Structure 1
Amino acid sequence: MCGITVCIALNRQCSHPGAGKVNGDLGTYANGAHTDGHTNSACTNGQPKPDPNLHQKLHNSLDKIAHRGPDARGVWISDDGLVGLGHNRLAINDLSPDGDQPIQSDDGTIHAVVNGEIYDYDRLRAELTSLHGYQFRGHSDSELVVALYKAYGAPRFLDYLRGEFALVVYDERTGSIVAARDRFGIKPLSWTVIGEGDDKRLLLAAEAKAFLALDWEAEWDVGSLVESGWASNDNRTLFKGVRKVLPGYWMGVTADGVIEHHRYFDLDYKDKREVETRSIEEMITGVRQRLTEAIRLRMRADVPIGIYLSGGLDSSLIAGIVVRLVKEEGFRMGNQDASDRIRCFTIQFPTEGGFDESDIAERTAEWLGVQISKKKMDESALAEYFADTAYHCEHHNTDLNSVGKFGLSMLPREQGFKVVLTGEGANEHFGGYPFFPPDFLLERDHATPGSPLTQNDQLREGMKKMARQALVDMFPRMGVFQHGLDDCEAFRSVNDVLMPGAIGGILVSKAPFAPWVREQWADADVRLTLTNSLSSEAKDKAINKWHPLHTSQYVWTKTVLANLLLSCLGDRTEMAHSVEARPPFLDHELSEYVNGLPPSLKLGYTPGNLGAGDDRSPWWGGKNSSSARVFSEKWILREAGKEFLTEELYQRKKHPYSAPVKWQKGRPIHQKLSEICTKEAIEALGFVDYAVVESALDKGFGEEADTLSFRLILAVAAWVTLGQRFGAKKASSADWANAASCL
């Protein structure tokens, strides 16, 4: 619900600054920071000097991310001038000035900026008041952060936070800083260190563009680009020296400048050797109850709340449960009695090619008796919004679906809605993507010994071969990048699941890179980048504990979900228009329950349903597609939500949200991408081969368009846009003469 900018001077070990007061979006500034977690003589031989212009710089930084919080602004700077916090507020809970940030504890010694929402507010507030005597200033959920930190300290206070958040806490009693990000990475938080010696400063912000006003200069991280490190579970971004606080991690900074990173949460799954003892009905009920609770918690706000409604199962199920809670149980949708005006928002793509689902969304809304507004994203609109989408996302995407989400997010704000409920996370938890069947079939599911696939290895092995071939066939049909599904170290390290190769389809190959880049990173393997970024504990569980389906889900969740889907299809495109999205499926208590369910209840073997569902989706096709069609993806979720769904949605197969990929030459999208990808602009990047781009601009459009060339152009055009708007320095081989992977 906010934008954050923080500036901290490192090496503040002798300064115990008092409290000064200003307001702002999350930001931190520090002199003398050490990214390796150690101090050195350069840091300890002197005291950092305060920046006399810090106050103005923080405001300028907040201007860069004003879209994240247009309702109020605040800046706080410590008495010694070495710590500055800034915050742009999107007012959702407690609309009074009591909800403005930065926040101070009741004794004035703890200061924080918080981006996001903390749920279960009433219970936590009552506990902190009665057990710890905390005196709350207002009724904002963000104030819980300083109260919990004061009561329990770090990292224990994070265990109490249920929701989506990025936060920075400064404890002036110890001079320490704590920065943390929610368990799935719904809210962004980046950091970098600038300056030298005693003038080193640590910067944190919700978006890297905020650093531009704090003396940071953008340079490309070419290694991260070619290896796709930005999309993995390591902390790189597209910019050199700019790091992510990883989902489920907290970053501690001591007064003398030591920076350390700690994990406080990770996914875990049922042991594959355990036989399930619960009844199927009990587990279906368990899913329904926990999903309903996750939705109910996210219906609280002091502003109206809407729903993003696609033609899919996930968002439709959320809408159905909301209608039940409102109309039958009397719950409010935000600050309103929504029984007669529950509002949904959907997107309409051009109807050719099977990418438009708006007609299904409209039928669902009619069945539920709710209002629906539609954003038409035709070719002209997609071309118009492309560059702004890339700028807000701060990374490339090889599909125009992010541009569609950028346009869709205009609708709620135009109609007075600041908050929407969304369906992200369901596919990850319940096995919803067409990439999962090959990995599901790798081993028996011993939790369900009565399943035909557990009892009949010959049947399972035959289907496994077909499912793998179906995945191979899908790649050229969808025109995605191919990094290989052959046996390799990456697959072996995660028990032979193919997911790292499937993910490669949306990650750019080496094709567009300049010759010096291809030579420098000749051995780079995107699949290995993905698996190397996973912890040794996770890979050990992949080999010894988890069923391959769960390993596959883990790999996707820690990489694509966190770094791409929750960014360009989530927070970045929504907050570009000051809209906060709340994804109930990413409630960690719900996910922990679902992760303990048998794999066979997620991908249900239902051969009798062969051919059922909507055939318009380009994801379903080819002679081997029957191996995927015999599975009812998200089976237990369908059963848990059956009473809230139309028969059409209950039967329909998953269609991953994507935009059309074939467009004519000379039309708006071709014109826009050609205007962006000029020879001069490409050469200014320094790491892209213009000859490849020129060829792709020709081959990627027209009646016989090569979809892979089109996707390549989308990535390059995003790089050009970012390079120009960030003023990024041209990359050269000299800058990377001794380059090595930096995980």
Structure 2
Amino acid sequence: MCGITGIISFQSSIDPQNIHNMNETLMHRGPDHRDIWINEYSTVFLGHTRLSILDLSDNGNQPFHSKDGRFHLTFNGEIYNYKNLKDYLKTNGISNFKSNSDTEVLIELIALRGITNASKMLNGMFAFAVWDSLEKKIHLVRDRFGEKPLFYTLQKDTLYFGSEIKSILKIPTISKIINKEALSHYLRFNYIKNPLTIYKDIYKLEPGHILSIDQNITYKKYSYKNKNKKTIKLANQKEAEDLLQNQIIKSCLSRTISDVPIACFLSGGIDSSLVTSIIQRNSKQRIKTFTIGFDDQSIDESNYAEKIANFLGTDHTTINIEEKELLNNIDLQSEIYGEPFADQSSIATNILCKYASRDVKVCLSGDGGDEMFIGYDRYYKVNQLRLFLKAIKFYKKFKTIDRILEVLIHKIESNKNFSIKIDKIIKLISLLSDANDDNIYEKFNSLYRDQYFPLTPQNNQKHYIYKDLKNIQEMCEYDFETYLPDCILTKVDRASMHNSLEVRAPFLDHEIPEIIDSINPTYKKKLLNRKFILKKLLNKYLPKNIYERPKKGFSAPLNNWIKGPLKELTLDYLSIESLKKHNLLDIDIIERIKYEHYSGIRSWHNQIWNLLIFQQWYNKNF
């Protein structure tokens, strides 16, 4: 795992100090080695910082160059099938490899098959850039799920790219102008969807895409994902189960390739428990496992993880985090993520990675299991809401239902003995009063009702259009395109690499969804329903009474923090004086939110946290 940077100037030479400055910002991603390559005309600069995982020798250092001298590569990630690809290259006459790294295999595969075909052959997590010195063309490539990040900006005749936004911002001529469409998405969902970033003209490369730019500044961006579905004939559901379970096991084991020790994150939930069970069952040694423990028992699940670790016989560590350490890490949010990012579990994830990195360089996680195997309750809740909305649409003809819903909201909002559950009831009633099920999924996930949306009207010129998602399948696909790469995987990548730790996600193997797509719809519906297939496989490793329980996750006690130790900071960041520094947010709405929250009229802790993180980011960057 590494950090990559680059500058490609198609018209003029560039000061070499720029690439050194960009590289310097990514030393946390690759503390073991750093280097740059500059072409003979000083128009192409490729930078690299290395976290050594495969082939620990200097032979694995980058940037890498093809044997024929045509291609030059800076690569971040892991290619899990690189040994098979190496054998494929040997059968095509390519031998005498100087290293045992996957990077050398990749560049020779590109030289043999071309950028598109080579990318399709990769099974792994990656982001890389390849300069073609013959065609004078740069290619940026990102893995199918978006596990590894890649940011870029094209300024006149020059392309800048990097693993994190901060590397691009090291260029003095880059303007820091806030993208208001991106800010609108952040305020609604706590993260910014691809290809946008918080900065205008800086973009994320979408998962599964290639961006190619030639010397005439003409560029082409396209998906290399295989759109042709496999056809697998299965006699019955049992055959479908076996096929999918075998692929999950294969995927877990393929992610253990490493020249350094590996470990697992173990929360005690289904996904991480299954990954840990498979790895420990197939390991000759006790693997290390890590979990987090909290003082607040309402969010602590360390005892569940400990029971599973004891049953499996892993070398387990519970990292007990005190509230003081959690609060001290809030100040790191802007530095770690480079743009506003308010996922509640991000702070705990960063602390988990910090402690794990003291013992290992690689950890496996259960990320992607909820999206791949329909594990989120919200999918089913939204479907239930649709049924209510159909009934309400009928009664709306008589107008009385609108008045009833308005009265209910007013009564609940005026109840000073509110709880978080009541806050959720208000949101539910608001959705029902809208009576429009065309875009209910994103509205269900949005932090704000429209009348409380905190962007000022002049800064909310491009009204956000909610996605029309009609069923669970479409909800899952949408989460795969946005929530998974831009929230879940962003959190894991930045938190882990901030601590020089590589995290691998076995469920994010492109062969798993390809098999799922090939299964008869009748079988598929049952196998994917609430992680049925994962639970059935887990039963082979663990008794049900150990892992079956309500899910908690690495959340934070925001309500207590904002009313307690974070109150002074919150009131400072959300003061009228602070808000007037940029005039992006509606002061009247935020004043109302603060008043209602601190006077006990209504809980706004999630929204205040969202605003607090934005204000913190703004103050540190402007």
Q: TM-score, normalised by structure 2?
A: 0.87
1:50 corresponding residue in structure 2: 13
1:500 corresponding residue in structure 2: 442
> Using the alignment, how far apart are the partners of 1:305 and 1:177 within structure 2?
34
In the alignment, structure 1 residue 304 sits paired with structure 2 residue 261 = yes
Residues 294-373 of structure 1 correspond to what in structure 2 (within 5 A)? 294-327=251-284, 339-340=285-286, 342-352=287-297, 354-373=298-317
> Using the alignment, how far apart are the partners of 1:277 and 1:442 within structure 2?
35
2:464 corresponding residue in structure 1: 525
> Using the alignment, how far apart are the partners of 1:671 and 1:135 within structure 2?
64
- After superposition, give the CA deviation of every residue in 1:632-673 in whole Å (9 maximum; x if it has no partner): 610121112211223235533444553333215663333444
8 Å CA contact 1:70–1:88 kept in 2: the answer is: yes
2:351 corresponding residue in structure 1: 407
8 Å CA contact 1:176–1:254 kept in 2: the answer is: yes
Q: Please point out which of 160, 163, 172 is paired with 1:206.
A: 163
Amino acid at match of 2:2: C
In the alignment, structure 1 residue 191 sits paired with structure 2 residue 152 = yes
Residues 30-429 of structure 1 correspond to what in structure 2 (within 5 A)? 48-51=11-14, 53-54=15-16, 56-194=17-155, 196=156, 200-215=157-172, 216-228=174-186, 234-265=194-225, 278-327=235-284, 339-340=285-286, 342-352=287-297, 354-415=298-359, 417-429=360-372
Instruction: Measure how far apart 1:725 and its partner are.
Output: 3.2
> Using the alignment, how far apart are the partners of 1:662 and 1:554 within structure 2?
32
8 Å CA contact 1:682–1:688 kept in 2: the answer is: yes
Amino acid at match of 1:176: K
Amino acid at match of 1:361: A
> Using the alignment, how far apart are the partners of 2:101 and 2:430 within structure 1?
47
Residues 645-664 of structure 1 correspond to what in structure 2 (within 5 A)? 645-655=542-552, 657-663=554-560
8 Å CA contact 2:7–2:159 kept in 1: the answer is: yes
Residues 13-28 of structure 1 correspond to what in structure 2 (within 5 A)? none
- After superposition, give the CA deviation of every residue in 1:684-724 in whole Å (9 maximum; x if it has no partner): 2331234444554454468x4844x2222222222223223
Instruction: Measure how far apart 1:176 and its partner are.
Output: 0.8
> Using the alignment, how far apart are the partners of 1:504 and 1:661 within structure 2?
17
With 154-163 and 214-223 compared, the bigger mean Cα shift is at 214-223
Amino acid at match of 1:183: R
Amino acid at match of 2:312: L
Judged with a 3 Å threshold, the aligned counterparts in structure 2 of structure 1 residues 678 and 270 are, in CA distance, closer, same or farther, namely: farther
8 Å CA contact 2:307–2:546 kept in 1: the answer is: no
8 Å CA contact 1:433–1:656 kept in 2: the answer is: no
With 234-243 and 593-602 compared, the bigger mean Cα shift is at 593-602
1:549 corresponding residue in structure 2: 472
> Using the alignment, how far apart are the partners of 1:509 and 1:319 within structure 2?
46
Q: Determine helix, strand or coil for the equivalent of 1:658.
A: coil
Q: Determine helix, strand or coil for the equivalent of 2:366.
A: coil
With 642-651 and 139-148 compared, the bigger mean Cα shift is at 642-651
> Using the alignment, how far apart are the partners of 2:293 and 2:450 within structure 1?
27
Amino acid at match of 1:668: P
Instruction: Measure how far apart 1:487 and its partner are.
Output: 5.7
Instruction: Measure how far apart 1:270 and its partner are.
Output: 9.7
> Using the alignment, how far apart are the partners of 1:253 and 1:484 within structure 2?
45
> Using the alignment, how far apart are the partners of 1:50 and 1:233 within structure 2?
34
Instruction: Measure how far apart 1:442 and its partner are.
Output: 11
- After superposition, give the CA deviation of every residue in 1:239-294 in whole Å (9 maximum; x if it has no partner): 111111100110011121111101111678899xx9x9542222222222111111
Q: Please point out which of 508, 528, 544 is paired with 1:586.
A: 508
Judged with a 3 Å threshold, the aligned counterparts in structure 2 of structure 1 residues 478 and 251 are, in CA distance, closer, same or farther, namely: farther
8 Å CA contact 2:230–2:515 kept in 1: the answer is: no
Residues 401-480 of structure 1 correspond to what in structure 2 (within 5 A)? 401-415=345-359, 417-437=360-380, 476-477=423-424
> Using the alignment, how far apart are the partners of 2:520 and 2:448 within structure 1?
29
Judged with a 3 Å threshold, the aligned counterparts in structure 2 of structure 1 residues 284 and 117 are, in CA distance, closer, same or farther, namely: same
Judged with a 3 Å threshold, the aligned counterparts in structure 2 of structure 1 residues 441 and 476 are, in CA distance, closer, same or farther, namely: closer
Q: Determine helix, strand or coil for the equivalent of 1:213.
A: coil
> Using the alignment, how far apart are the partners of 1:347 and 1:120 within structure 2?
32
> Using the alignment, how far apart are the partners of 2:565 and 2:216 within structure 1?
55
- After superposition, give the CA deviation of every residue in 1:386-422 in whole Å (9 maximum; x if it has no partner): 121233123434442111111111011122x111001
Judged with a 3 Å threshold, the aligned counterparts in structure 2 of structure 1 residues 705 and 135 are, in CA distance, closer, same or farther, namely: farther
8 Å CA contact 1:323–1:368 kept in 2: the answer is: yes
2:455 corresponding residue in structure 1: 513
Amino acid at match of 1:427: D
1:714 corresponding residue in structure 2: 609
> Using the alignment, how far apart are the partners of 1:223 and 1:178 within structure 2?
27
8 Å CA contact 1:188–1:207 kept in 2: the answer is: yes
Instruction: Measure how far apart 1:478 and its partner are.
Output: 8.7
Amino acid at match of 1:726: N
> Using the alignment, how far apart are the partners of 2:195 and 2:429 within structure 1?
24
- After superposition, give the CA deviation of every residue in 1:532-570 in whole Å (9 maximum; x if it has no partner): xxxxxxxxxx88xxxx332221011111111111112x1
8 Å CA contact 2:5–2:46 kept in 1: the answer is: yes
> Using the alignment, how far apart are the partners of 2:506 and 2:547 within structure 1?
20
Query: Which segments of 5 or more consecutive residues in structure 2 lack a partner in the other structure?
Result: 393-408, 410-419
Instruction: Measure how far apart 1:594 and its partner are.
Output: 2.6
Q: Determine helix, strand or coil for the equivalent of 2:375.
A: coil
Identity, in percent, stands at 27
2:565 corresponding residue in structure 1: 668
> Using the alignment, how far apart are the partners of 1:562 and 1:602 within structure 2?
24
Judged with a 3 Å threshold, the aligned counterparts in structure 2 of structure 1 residues 227 and 402 are, in CA distance, closer, same or farther, namely: closer
8 Å CA contact 1:433–1:654 kept in 2: the answer is: no
Q: Determine helix, strand or coil for the equivalent of 1:137.
A: coil
Amino acid at match of 1:321: I
With 478-487 and 315-324 compared, the bigger mean Cα shift is at 478-487
Amino acid at match of 1:714: W
Instruction: Measure how far apart 1:99 and its partner are.
Output: 0.9
8 Å CA contact 1:129–1:135 kept in 2: the answer is: no
Q: Determine helix, strand or coil for the equivalent of 1:138.
A: coil
Amino acid at match of 2:556: A
- After superposition, give the CA deviation of every residue in 1:7-27 in whole Å (9 maximum; x if it has no partner): 1113xxxxxxxxxxxxxxxxx
Judged with a 3 Å threshold, the aligned counterparts in structure 2 of structure 1 residues 440 and 480 are, in CA distance, closer, same or farther, namely: closer
8 Å CA contact 2:142–2:210 kept in 1: the answer is: yes
> Using the alignment, how far apart are the partners of 2:430 and 2:521 within structure 1?
27
Q: Determine helix, strand or coil for the equivalent of 1:477.
A: helix
1:534 corresponding residue in structure 2: none
Instruction: Measure how far apart 1:502 and its partner are.
Output: 3.2
8 Å CA contact 1:483–1:501 kept in 2: the answer is: no
Judged with a 3 Å threshold, the aligned counterparts in structure 2 of structure 1 residues 588 and 667 are, in CA distance, closer, same or farther, namely: same
2:490 corresponding residue in structure 1: 567
Judged with a 3 Å threshold, the aligned counterparts in structure 2 of structure 1 residues 325 and 678 are, in CA distance, closer, same or farther, namely: same
In the alignment, structure 1 residue 723 sits paired with structure 2 residue 618 = yes
> Using the alignment, how far apart are the partners of 2:120 and 2:170 within structure 1?
34
> Using the alignment, how far apart are the partners of 2:430 and 2:13 within structure 1?
49
Query: Which segments of 5 or more consecutive residues in structure 1 lack a partner in the other structure?
Result: 11-47, 328-338, 444-460, 467-471, 492-497, 532-541, 606-630, 728-743
